[in-house]
Amino acid sequence: MHNFITEYNAMHKIFLAVSLITVSVLVLTSSAPTCESRTVPEHKKEAPASVYSELYETMDLDSIVNPEAFRLAVTGYYKITERKREVLTLIDFSKPSTEKRLFVFDMKAKKLLFSSVVSHGKNSGEKYATSFSNEYGSYKSSLGFYLTENTYQGRNGYSLILDGLEEGINDKAKERAIVMHGAAYSNPSIIKSTGRLGRSFGCPAVPQALSRPIIDAIKGGSVLYIYAEKPEYFAQSQLIDSSLNQL
């Protein structure tokens, strides 16, 4: 009888141990994160370093868009988490006003939506924009990254508010009423008579025929980047300075 009880107790302990192990395995398995719970948001799956070349090639931008300007625009685009739309606009002031230097990209569909001439501020330069300012009354363009906001009907017709994101570089854009709008002096026909596009008080003004389509494509929280080959801007910007040599 004693042997039977001893054996029974031993078997009971083994049964309990096996049960505990089974329960532990089940708990660990059920609490482990699934692949779905670890899914990375689509726009965060790849860093700009890995998407830049693919985007440039897929959008067939060679000989159309300055690769350095595009690279920096993409860098800032991915850093700006406040953006609400997967659209990026690049204005490349390293090009003369006689050439198309405004480009709108659909970052999700990976395609170029628009390319157009665009005006710079009257005190930024003649054919080329070479001088920039954040100051009210300067009548100069401001470099850097912006977020687009809402539209309104103003003195220049259908217009788009731009919010400058870079302190000391373009954060006075609203105070200066720097907006995107259409203008007769930005129509390509002006180039034939003056040798350059007309100039604004600092706004990126586009041809009247394209103003509404472009504004509608980029309004409501998309990123806009105004580029020029200015080392002082690169040194001051908080959105691209740490990434210049990483892409």
Reported as a single tens digit per residue, the pLDDT across 112-152 is 999 999 999 999 999 999 999 999 999 999 999 999 999 99
Strands 144-154, 111-116: pairing kind = unpaired
What number is the average pLDDT over the span 83-88? Answer: 98
Residue 11: what residue type?
M
Q: Is 123 in contact with 139 (CB distance < 8 Å)? A: yes
What is the topology classification, in CATH, of domain 42-243?
L,D-transpeptidase catalytic domain-like (2.40.440)
Q: Is 145 left (phi over 0), alpha (psi -120 to 50) or beta?
A: beta
**Predicted confidence band at 43 (pLDDT cuts at 50, 70, 90)?**
very low
pLDDT at 51: 81
First to last CA, the chain: 80
Query: How far is residue 162 from each of residues 77, 173, 191, measured CA to CA in Å?
Result: 15, 7, 26
> Phi and psi of 111, rounded to 5°?
-150, 155
pTM higher than the cut 0.75 = yes
Every domain of the chain and the residues it spans: 2-38, 42-243
pLDDT, mean over the chain = 85
Identify any residues that bridge with 105 across adjacent strands, giving them in sequence order.
88, 112
Comparing 244 with 197, which gets the higher pLDDT?
Answer: 197
